[in-house]
Amino acid sequence: MENFEDLYTDYLITSTSYTTATGMVSLLSVSHDKITRSLSQGVYDSKYLWSYVKPYVQELPPGAMSRRPKEVEFSCSACKVNAKQDKEAV
C-alpha cells in the first residue's frame, strides 16, 4: 500500500476516539487484511507518532494547543469527510 505511513498517521491524528484497523477500513476503500499487513511491517507506536508530528507542533505559536480550532486542514481526503461529520455532530 503506497503512502501507508501518511494515511495511518492522518487517521491517528484526526481520530476523536479509539483507533482500530476496522475504523480505518470504514474511511478508506482498502481491505482489513491490507491494513493489518501494513501495520505488521512497521512499528507504529506513540513514539513513532510523536516523532512524526513533533516538528509541526514545535512550529505552532505559544498557546495554540490550548484551544480547539474551528477548522483544521487535513492532508487525508477521507479524514476531511470524517472531520466535517464530527464538526456537524457537535
Q: What is the DSSP letter of 75?
A: S
pLDDT per residue over 53-70, tens digit each?
A: 888 888 888 777 666 655
Q: pTM value? A: 0.50
- Total tally of structural domains belonging to the chain: 1
The Cα 83–Cα 79 span in angstroms is 6
pLDDT per residue over 20-57, tens digit each?
A: 888 888 888 888 898 888 888 888 788 888 888 888 88
The Cα 45–Cα 32 span in angstroms is 19
Residue 52 is predicted with a pLDDT of 84
Tell me which residue range forms the domain holding 46: 4-89
pLDDT per residue over 74-85, tens digit each?
A: 455 555 544 444
